[in-house]
Copies of this chain bind each other. A is one copy, B any other.
Amino acid sequence: MPVPTFHGVYPILATPFDDDERLDEASLRRMLAFMLRIGVDGVTVLGVLGEANRMSDREREAVVRIARETLGEAIPLIVGVSHPGTRATVELAEMAARCGASALMVAPTAEPVPSEARIAEYYARVCEGVGLPVVLQDHPASTGVHMSVPLLARIVADNARVACIKAEAVPSASRIGALRTALSAPGSREVPMLTGLGALYGQFDLERGSSGYNTGFAFPEVLQAHLAAFRSGEAALARRIWRHFLPLIVFEQQPGVGVRKEILRRRGLLSSARVRHPGAAMASADAGQLTALIDFVMPQVDITRPLDVAAVMERASS
Protein backbone atom coordinates (compact mmCIF):
# COMPACT_ATOMS: atom_id res chain seq x y z
CA MET A 1 0.00 0.00 0.00
CA PRO A 2 1.25 3.47 -0.74
CA VAL A 3 2.56 5.28 2.31
CA PRO A 4 1.68 8.95 2.76
CA THR A 5 4.49 11.44 3.19
CA PHE A 6 2.10 14.07 4.60
CA HIS A 7 3.70 16.61 2.33
CA GLY A 8 1.41 17.80 -0.44
CA VAL A 9 -2.33 18.07 -0.97
CA TYR A 10 -4.58 15.50 0.69
CA PRO A 11 -8.21 16.44 0.10
CA ILE A 12 -10.81 15.55 2.71
CA LEU A 13 -13.70 13.97 0.87
CA ALA A 14 -17.37 14.57 1.42
CA THR A 15 -19.46 11.43 1.72
CA PRO A 16 -22.05 11.47 -1.08
CA PHE A 17 -25.65 10.68 -0.21
CA ASP A 18 -28.64 10.47 -2.51
CA ASP A 19 -31.82 12.40 -1.88
CA ASP A 20 -32.94 9.72 0.57
CA GLU A 21 -29.68 10.11 2.47
CA ARG A 22 -28.41 6.72 1.34
CA LEU A 23 -24.73 6.29 0.55
CA ASP A 24 -24.23 7.15 -3.14
CA GLU A 25 -21.45 4.85 -4.27
CA ALA A 26 -21.33 6.10 -7.82
CA SER A 27 -20.67 9.67 -6.73
CA LEU A 28 -18.04 8.48 -4.29
CA ARG A 29 -16.23 6.64 -7.08
CA ARG A 30 -16.55 9.66 -9.37
CA MET A 31 -15.06 11.93 -6.75
CA LEU A 32 -12.19 9.54 -6.10
CA ALA A 33 -11.49 9.20 -9.82
CA PHE A 34 -11.39 12.97 -10.10
CA MET A 35 -8.84 13.18 -7.31
CA LEU A 36 -6.66 10.60 -9.08
CA ARG A 37 -6.99 12.54 -12.29
CA ILE A 38 -5.80 15.81 -10.82
CA GLY A 39 -2.93 14.09 -9.07
CA VAL A 40 -3.45 14.70 -5.40
CA ASP A 41 -0.99 13.15 -2.99
CA GLY A 42 -3.61 11.16 -1.11
CA VAL A 43 -7.16 11.47 0.14
CA THR A 44 -8.90 11.34 3.50
CA VAL A 45 -12.34 9.84 3.98
CA LEU A 46 -14.64 9.89 7.02
CA GLY A 47 -13.57 13.22 8.43
CA VAL A 48 -15.92 15.89 9.76
CA LEU A 49 -16.75 16.94 6.20
CA GLY A 50 -17.42 13.26 5.52
CA GLU A 51 -20.23 13.34 8.10
CA ALA A 52 -18.67 10.24 9.65
CA ASN A 53 -20.39 10.91 12.95
CA ARG A 54 -23.79 10.49 11.29
CA MET A 55 -23.01 7.10 9.77
CA SER A 56 -23.31 3.52 10.94
CA ASP A 57 -20.23 1.35 11.34
CA ARG A 58 -21.32 -0.69 8.34
CA GLU A 59 -21.51 2.38 6.14
CA ARG A 60 -18.11 3.58 7.28
CA GLU A 61 -16.67 0.25 6.22
CA ALA A 62 -18.36 0.52 2.84
CA VAL A 63 -16.78 3.90 2.25
CA VAL A 64 -13.30 2.62 3.03
CA ARG A 65 -13.70 -0.43 0.81
CA ILE A 66 -14.97 1.58 -2.14
CA ALA A 67 -12.24 4.15 -1.68
CA ARG A 68 -9.43 1.65 -1.70
CA GLU A 69 -10.99 -0.30 -4.55
CA THR A 70 -11.32 2.82 -6.68
CA LEU A 71 -7.90 4.20 -5.85
CA GLY A 72 -6.13 0.89 -6.29
CA GLU A 73 -2.61 1.33 -5.05
CA ALA A 74 -2.20 4.64 -6.76
CA ILE A 75 -2.26 6.94 -3.76
CA PRO A 76 -2.50 6.78 0.03
CA LEU A 77 -5.89 6.57 1.71
CA ILE A 78 -6.28 8.17 5.14
CA VAL A 79 -9.31 7.10 7.15
CA GLY A 80 -10.94 8.98 10.01
CA VAL A 81 -11.66 6.57 12.88
CA SER A 82 -12.45 8.85 15.82
CA HIS A 83 -15.05 7.49 18.24
CA PRO A 84 -16.04 8.49 21.80
CA GLY A 85 -14.87 5.09 23.07
CA THR A 86 -11.19 4.21 22.87
CA ARG A 87 -11.80 0.54 22.23
CA ALA A 88 -14.31 1.37 19.48
CA THR A 89 -11.73 3.68 17.90
CA VAL A 90 -9.29 0.78 17.83
CA GLU A 91 -11.94 -1.43 16.27
CA LEU A 92 -12.66 1.14 13.58
CA ALA A 93 -8.93 1.41 13.01
CA GLU A 94 -8.65 -2.36 12.60
CA MET A 95 -11.51 -2.26 10.12
CA ALA A 96 -9.76 0.52 8.22
CA ALA A 97 -6.51 -1.43 8.16
CA ARG A 98 -8.28 -4.53 6.86
CA CYS A 99 -10.00 -2.53 4.14
CA GLY A 100 -6.87 -0.93 2.79
CA ALA A 101 -6.24 2.26 4.73
CA SER A 102 -2.74 3.72 4.48
CA ALA A 103 -3.10 5.82 7.61
CA LEU A 104 -5.61 6.81 10.29
CA MET A 105 -6.91 10.20 11.31
CA VAL A 106 -7.73 10.43 15.01
CA ALA A 107 -9.26 13.26 17.05
CA PRO A 108 -10.08 13.10 20.76
CA THR A 109 -13.61 13.30 22.14
CA ALA A 110 -14.67 15.83 24.77
CA GLU A 111 -15.27 14.26 28.16
CA PRO A 112 -17.27 15.90 30.99
CA VAL A 113 -14.03 16.46 32.88
CA PRO A 114 -11.13 17.25 30.51
CA SER A 115 -8.00 15.23 31.21
CA GLU A 116 -4.69 15.46 29.38
CA ALA A 117 -3.70 12.06 30.74
CA ARG A 118 -6.75 10.39 29.21
CA ILE A 119 -6.12 12.00 25.83
CA ALA A 120 -2.54 10.78 25.87
CA GLU A 121 -3.74 7.27 26.76
CA TYR A 122 -6.26 7.43 23.95
CA TYR A 123 -3.55 8.02 21.37
CA ALA A 124 -1.27 5.46 22.99
CA ARG A 125 -3.91 2.76 22.73
CA VAL A 126 -4.77 3.51 19.12
CA CYS A 127 -1.09 3.57 18.16
CA GLU A 128 -0.40 0.31 19.97
CA GLY A 129 -3.46 -1.34 18.60
CA VAL A 130 -3.02 -0.79 14.90
CA GLY A 131 0.07 -0.86 12.68
CA LEU A 132 -0.65 2.26 10.65
CA PRO A 133 0.62 5.83 10.69
CA VAL A 134 -1.65 8.18 12.64
CA VAL A 135 -2.66 11.75 11.80
CA LEU A 136 -3.32 13.56 15.06
CA GLN A 137 -6.23 15.87 14.28
CA ASP A 138 -6.30 18.98 16.47
CA HIS A 139 -9.62 20.66 15.66
CA PRO A 140 -11.22 22.20 18.76
CA ALA A 141 -14.05 23.73 16.72
CA SER A 142 -15.53 20.30 16.08
CA THR A 143 -14.24 18.31 19.05
CA GLY A 144 -14.49 20.85 21.86
CA VAL A 145 -11.11 19.55 23.03
CA HIS A 146 -8.30 22.06 23.53
CA MET A 147 -4.90 20.37 23.50
CA SER A 148 -1.93 22.39 24.67
CA VAL A 149 1.29 22.52 22.66
CA PRO A 150 3.15 20.55 25.37
CA LEU A 151 0.49 17.83 25.30
CA LEU A 152 0.76 17.52 21.52
CA ALA A 153 4.53 17.37 21.73
CA ARG A 154 4.33 14.67 24.37
CA ILE A 155 1.92 12.54 22.33
CA VAL A 156 4.21 12.81 19.31
CA ALA A 157 7.27 11.97 21.37
CA ASP A 158 5.64 8.97 23.04
CA ASN A 159 4.04 7.42 19.98
CA ALA A 160 6.28 6.70 17.02
CA ARG A 161 3.23 6.02 14.88
CA VAL A 162 1.98 9.58 15.10
CA ALA A 163 3.23 10.71 11.73
CA CYS A 164 1.48 14.02 11.18
CA ILE A 165 -0.50 16.74 12.96
CA LYS A 166 -3.54 18.19 11.24
CA ALA A 167 -3.17 21.63 12.76
CA GLU A 168 -6.63 23.16 13.02
CA ALA A 169 -6.54 24.98 16.33
CA VAL A 170 -6.65 28.74 15.82
CA PRO A 171 -4.62 30.85 15.42
CA SER A 172 -3.27 28.02 13.28
CA ALA A 173 -0.17 29.70 11.84
CA SER A 174 0.99 30.84 15.25
CA ARG A 175 0.33 27.37 16.68
CA ILE A 176 2.27 25.72 13.86
CA GLY A 177 5.18 27.99 14.70
CA ALA A 178 4.97 27.08 18.37
CA LEU A 179 4.63 23.38 17.57
CA ARG A 180 7.68 23.42 15.35
CA THR A 181 9.69 24.85 18.20
CA ALA A 182 8.29 22.30 20.63
CA LEU A 183 8.77 19.32 18.31
CA SER A 184 12.36 20.22 17.52
CA ALA A 185 13.35 20.36 21.17
CA PRO A 186 15.59 17.57 22.50
CA GLY A 187 13.57 14.48 23.40
CA SER A 188 10.83 15.30 20.99
CA ARG A 189 10.38 14.38 17.36
CA GLU A 190 9.47 16.43 14.30
CA VAL A 191 6.49 15.47 12.19
CA PRO A 192 4.89 17.21 9.24
CA MET A 193 1.89 19.44 9.95
CA LEU A 194 -0.94 19.80 7.49
CA THR A 195 -3.34 22.70 7.03
CA GLY A 196 -7.08 22.25 7.40
CA LEU A 197 -9.90 24.69 8.17
CA GLY A 198 -10.88 24.89 4.52
CA ALA A 199 -7.55 26.57 3.67
CA LEU A 200 -8.69 29.79 5.36
CA TYR A 201 -5.21 30.34 6.77
CA GLY A 202 -3.34 28.46 4.02
CA GLN A 203 -0.82 31.13 3.12
CA PHE A 204 -0.08 31.91 6.75
CA ASP A 205 0.27 28.26 7.70
CA LEU A 206 2.70 27.52 4.87
CA GLU A 207 4.83 30.47 5.92
CA ARG A 208 5.14 29.02 9.40
CA GLY A 209 5.92 25.46 8.40
CA SER A 210 2.82 23.65 7.19
CA SER A 211 3.78 20.87 4.79
CA GLY A 212 0.63 21.12 2.73
CA TYR A 213 -3.12 20.76 2.76
CA ASN A 214 -5.49 18.26 4.31
CA THR A 215 -8.81 19.96 3.86
CA GLY A 216 -12.06 19.80 1.96
CA PHE A 217 -11.91 22.91 -0.23
CA ALA A 218 -13.82 21.90 -3.35
CA PHE A 219 -11.11 23.07 -5.76
CA PRO A 220 -8.03 21.12 -4.67
CA GLU A 221 -6.34 22.19 -7.91
CA VAL A 222 -6.05 25.64 -6.35
CA LEU A 223 -4.32 24.24 -3.31
CA GLN A 224 -1.96 22.29 -5.56
CA ALA A 225 -1.06 25.41 -7.50
CA HIS A 226 -0.65 27.42 -4.32
CA LEU A 227 1.61 24.86 -2.73
CA ALA A 228 3.65 24.40 -5.91
CA ALA A 229 4.29 28.13 -6.20
CA PHE A 230 5.17 28.36 -2.53
CA ARG A 231 7.57 25.44 -2.69
CA SER A 232 9.32 26.70 -5.80
CA GLY A 233 10.08 29.95 -4.03
CA GLU A 234 7.65 32.07 -6.01
CA ALA A 235 6.38 33.80 -2.90
CA ALA A 236 4.51 36.59 -4.65
CA LEU A 237 2.80 34.20 -7.04
CA ALA A 238 1.77 31.99 -4.15
CA ARG A 239 0.19 34.93 -2.37
CA ARG A 240 -1.61 36.01 -5.49
CA ILE A 241 -3.05 32.57 -6.14
CA TRP A 242 -4.27 32.26 -2.59
CA ARG A 243 -5.78 35.73 -2.59
CA HIS A 244 -7.46 35.24 -5.92
CA PHE A 245 -9.49 32.35 -4.58
CA LEU A 246 -9.79 33.61 -1.03
CA PRO A 247 -13.38 34.87 -1.40
CA LEU A 248 -14.41 31.35 -2.36
CA ILE A 249 -12.33 29.85 0.44
CA VAL A 250 -14.05 32.18 2.91
CA PHE A 251 -17.49 31.33 1.57
CA GLU A 252 -16.89 27.60 1.62
CA GLN A 253 -15.50 27.35 5.12
CA GLN A 254 -18.71 28.60 6.69
CA PRO A 255 -20.12 26.13 9.23
CA GLY A 256 -21.88 23.08 7.91
CA VAL A 257 -20.97 21.00 4.90
CA GLY A 258 -23.89 22.16 2.77
CA VAL A 259 -22.05 24.81 0.78
CA ARG A 260 -19.22 22.48 -0.05
CA LYS A 261 -21.50 19.69 -1.18
CA GLU A 262 -23.38 22.10 -3.40
CA ILE A 263 -20.15 23.16 -5.08
CA LEU A 264 -19.13 19.54 -5.54
CA ARG A 265 -22.52 18.93 -7.11
CA ARG A 266 -21.98 21.82 -9.49
CA ARG A 267 -18.61 20.39 -10.35
CA GLY A 268 -20.41 17.23 -11.42
CA LEU A 269 -18.85 15.13 -8.71
CA LEU A 270 -21.93 14.60 -6.54
CA SER A 271 -25.32 13.65 -7.91
CA SER A 272 -26.99 15.25 -4.90
CA ALA A 273 -25.89 17.90 -2.42
CA ARG A 274 -27.94 16.24 0.30
CA VAL A 275 -26.56 16.51 3.83
CA ARG A 276 -27.62 14.01 6.43
CA HIS A 277 -30.15 15.22 8.97
CA PRO A 278 -29.87 16.99 11.37
CA GLY A 279 -27.35 18.72 9.13
CA ALA A 280 -28.76 20.87 6.36
CA ALA A 281 -28.12 21.50 2.71
CA MET A 282 -27.27 25.01 1.56
CA ALA A 283 -30.41 27.16 1.60
CA SER A 284 -31.83 27.64 -1.87
CA ALA A 285 -31.86 31.38 -1.22
CA ASP A 286 -28.06 31.22 -1.15
CA ALA A 287 -27.70 29.66 -4.58
CA GLY A 288 -27.55 32.87 -6.57
CA GLN A 289 -24.90 34.31 -4.32
CA LEU A 290 -22.73 31.26 -4.82
CA THR A 291 -23.18 31.48 -8.58
CA ALA A 292 -22.11 35.11 -8.62
CA LEU A 293 -19.13 34.35 -6.45
CA ILE A 294 -17.89 31.52 -8.65
CA ASP A 295 -18.38 33.73 -11.65
CA PHE A 296 -16.30 36.45 -10.05
CA VAL A 297 -13.44 34.16 -9.16
CA MET A 298 -13.60 31.91 -12.22
CA PRO A 299 -15.44 33.75 -14.97
CA GLN A 300 -16.67 31.56 -17.80
CA VAL A 301 -14.84 28.54 -16.49
CA ASP A 302 -16.23 25.03 -16.88
CA ILE A 303 -15.86 23.93 -13.27
CA THR A 304 -16.75 20.33 -14.08
CA ARG A 305 -13.28 19.95 -15.53
CA PRO A 306 -9.97 20.06 -13.69
CA LEU A 307 -9.01 23.68 -13.20
CA ASP A 308 -6.07 25.27 -14.96
CA VAL A 309 -5.35 27.74 -12.21
CA ALA A 310 -2.98 29.96 -14.18
CA ALA A 311 -5.45 30.22 -17.02
CA VAL A 312 -8.29 31.01 -14.66
CA MET A 313 -6.37 33.81 -13.04
CA GLU A 314 -5.32 35.25 -16.34
CA ARG A 315 -8.85 35.25 -17.66
CA ALA A 316 -10.20 36.79 -14.46
CA SER A 317 -7.75 39.65 -14.60
CA SER A 318 -8.34 40.41 -18.23
Proximity bits, A197-217, B CB within 8 Å = 1, else 0 = 000110110011000000000
Interface size class, chain A: 35 or more
Q: Which 5 A-B pairs have the closest CB atoms?
A: A54-B85, A86-B277, A57-B57, A171-B254, A118-B278
- Per the bound structure, the CA–CA distance linking A201 and B248 in Å amounts to 11
A168-213 contacts to B (CB < 8 Å): 169-171, 173-174, 177-178, 200-201, 203-204, 207-208
- Per the bound structure, the CA–CA distance linking A170 and B251 in Å amounts to 11
Q: Assess whether B87 is in contact with A276, with CB atoms less than 8 Å apart.
A: yes
A241 to chain B, nearest CB (A): 12
Interface positions of A (Cβ within 8 A of B): 21, 51, 53-58, 83-88, 91-92, 109, 111-116, 118-119, 121-122, 125, 140, 146, 148, 169-171, 173-174, 177-178, 200-201, 203-204, 207-208, 236, 239, 242-244, 246-247, 250-251, 254-256, 259, 276-280, 283, 285-286, 289, 292-293, 296
Q: Assess whether A276 is in contact with B174, with CB atoms less than 8 Å apart.
A: no
Residues of the B chain whose Cβ atoms lie less than 8 Å from the Cβ of A277: 85-87, 118, 121-122, 125
Given A201-B254, A243-B247, 9 more pairs with CB closer than 8 A:
A56-B92, A85-B276, A86-B278, A113-B140, A118-B278, A170-B254, A177-B285, A177-B286, A201-B250
Residues of the B chain whose Cβ atoms lie less than 8 Å from the Cβ of A286: 171, 173-174, 177
Residues of the B chain whose Cβ atoms lie less than 8 Å from the Cβ of A236: 296
What are 15 A-B pairs at a CB distance below 8 A? A51-B85, A53-B85, A54-B84, A54-B88, A87-B276, A114-B114, A118-B280, A121-B277, A170-B255, A173-B286, A178-B285, A201-B250, A243-B243, A243-B246, A243-B247
A314 to chain B, nearest CB (A): 14
Known: A118-B278, A278-B111, A296-B239. A204 touches B289 (CB 8 A): yes
- Per the bound structure, the CA–CA distance linking A243 and B255 in Å amounts to 21
- Per the bound structure, the CA–CA distance linking A140 and B115 in Å amounts to 14
